[in-house]
Amino acid sequence: MTNEDISKIKELLDTPKKIVIVPHKGPDGDAMGSTLALKLLLENRHHYVQLIAPNDYPEFLKWLPYSEEVINYEKEQEKSNEYIAEADVIFTLDFNHLSRAGEMKEALETAKADFIMIDHHQQPDDYAVVTYSDVTMCSTSQMVYHFIHNIGLEDHINAQIATCLYTGIMTDTGSFRYRSTTSLTHRVIADLIERGADNTNIHENVYDTNSYSRLQLLGVALQNLKVVEGLRTAYIVLSQEELDHHNFKKGDTEGFVNYGLSLSGIVFAAIFIENRADNIIKISLRSKGTFSVNDFARKHFQGGGHINAAGGKSDLNLAETIAKFISILPDYKTSLSI
Ligand code: 5GP
Ligand code: MN
C-alpha cells in the first residue's frame, strides 16, 4: 500500500462510519476469514459494520467467530440494499470485479460509498478509491493482516480476529503448501498463533468435520476421474443426480478438484459440477507450474482467478461442456504435453 492510500484510509476511518464488507459470491475460507476479521477489527474501533455475503457459504466455515452475524443477500435483499445505500465505506474483499458479487452487483454500482478493495486476484477493476491489490499474496487474509499493520491497529488483533485470518490463509494455501506461501506467510501465521489462533482446532474444524454423505460423494468423484492421455490433464464430472443422491450441501465438493492434480504426471485438473437450479455447469480449474488456468478460464469459461487456481462456468449442458473442454485441450498441446 502507498503512503497516500494509508493516509486516505486513516482519514476515512478517523470517526465512526457506516461500513459494509462484501466477500465474493460462493465465499470460501479466505473470503469469509478475511471479511470476518475485518468486521471484528472495525467493530472494536467503534464503526457500524455489516458483513453481507452475496449467497450462503459452506457449513465447514460456520464455526468461525461471529459468523452468525453474516447477512445472506439472497435471503435479505431489501435490508441489505438499505445498508449498501446508506454506507459511507464499502470494503470488497477477495475479488476485484463487481460482477463477482453476483446479484449484489447493481446495488454496489449505485452506492454512494467510498470503496476499498483488498484482493490478490489478477487484473483488478478500478471502482475503488483505494485498491490494495497484490497478486503475489497467498490470500486476502494475509493482506488484511498487513492492512491492519499499515493503519497501525496491529495491537487490536485479538484471538478471534487471529482465528479468522489463520483460517483464510490456511484454506487458500492448501494448508501452507502452494507456491504463494512464503517465509513472510509463516511469520504472519506465527504471530496469529501468538495472538490466540488455535491451529490444531482450526484444522480440525475445517478438515475433520466431513459428513458420511460427503465422503461417499468424494468416492463417486474419484470413480468419475478421467485422464486425457498425452495432455497431462485429469478431470472429474459430477451430475445433479449424483449430487442429489448424496445429499449435496454447499461446500461438499470443495477440494475435490485437487485429487486430479495429485495423480503422478498431471499438471492440469478440472472439475465440472452440474447446477440445475442456476442452469449452469460450475467449473474449478487447478494447475502446476506455468500453465495459467486464469487465462484458460477467462478465455473459454467466463471466469478467472490465479495462475494455478481459477474457476468459471458454462451455459451449455454437462455433456456439451465436457465436449468443449476436450476439444480445446489440443490448442494447449505445447504447454501440456511433455
Ligand atoms: P474455486 O475453484 O475454488 O471455486 O476458485 C478458485 C479461484 O478462482 C478462486 O480464487 C476464485 O475466486 C476464482 N474463481 C472461481 N470461480 C470464478 C468465476 O466464476 N469467475 C472468476 N473471475 N473467478 C473465479
Ligand atoms: Mn482468496
Where do the structural domains in the chain lie, given as residue ranges?
A: 3-207, 212-336
Which residue's C-alpha comes closest to atom 15 of ligand 1? 311
Per DSSP, 103 falls in state G
pLDDT of residue 270: 98
Q: Which ligand is nearest to the CA of 134?
A: 2
**Ligand 1 nearest-atom number relative to CA 97:** 22
User: Ligand 2 centroid vs 90 CA: distance in angstroms?
Assistant: 18
Environment of ion ligand 2 (residues, CB < 5 A): 30, 94, 140, 172
3-state secondary structure of 305: strand
d(CA 220, CA 303): 26
Given 3-state DSSP classes, what are the helix, strand and coil percentages for the chain, each rounded to the nearest 5? 45, 20, 35
pLDDT of residue 156: 98
116 closest CA partner among 142, 90, 153, 86: 90
Written as one letter, the residue type at 227 is V
User: Ligand 2 centroid vs 91 CA: distance in angstroms?
Assistant: 15
- Residues flanking ligand 1, CB < 6 Å: 24, 28, 100, 121, 284, 303-306, 309-313
User: Ligand 1 centroid vs 334 CA: distance in angstroms?
Assistant: 25
Looking at 3.90.1640.10, 3.30.200.20, 3.20.20.80, 3.40.640.10, the CATH number of the domain 3-207 comes to 3.90.1640.10
pLDDT of residue 155: 97
Looking at 2.140.10.30, 3.10.310.30, 1.10.3720.10, 3.40.50.1110, the CATH number of the domain 212-336 comes to 3.10.310.30
pLDDT of residue 104: 98
pLDDT of residue 23: 98
Averaged pLDDT in 10-residue chunks for the chain of 338 residues: 96 97 97 98 98 96 97 98 98 98 97 98 96 98 98 97 98 96 98 98 97 97 97 98 96 96 97 97 97 97 94 98 98 92
d(CA 45, CA 98): 27
Residue whose C-alpha cell is 450462503: 56
What is the complex's ipTM, to 2 decimals? Answer: 0.95
d(CA 106, CA 270): 31
Residue 1 makes CB contacts below 8 A (sequence gap 6+) with 130, 132, 146, 147, 150
Residue whose C-alpha cell is 480476529: 161
**Ligand 1 nearest-atom number relative to CA 298:** 22
**Ligand 1 nearest-atom number relative to CA 94:** 12
pLDDT of residue 86: 98
pLDDT of residue 338: 76
301 closest CA partner among 319, 278, 328: 328
Query: Which stretch of DSSP H or E encloses residue 55?
Result: none
Report the DSSP beta bridge partners of residue 133: 119
pLDDT of residue 147: 98
Which residue's C-alpha comes closest to atom 14 of ligand 1? 311
Which residue's C-alpha comes closest to atom 19 of ligand 1? 312
User: Ligand 2 centroid vs 229 CA: distance in angstroms?
Assistant: 32
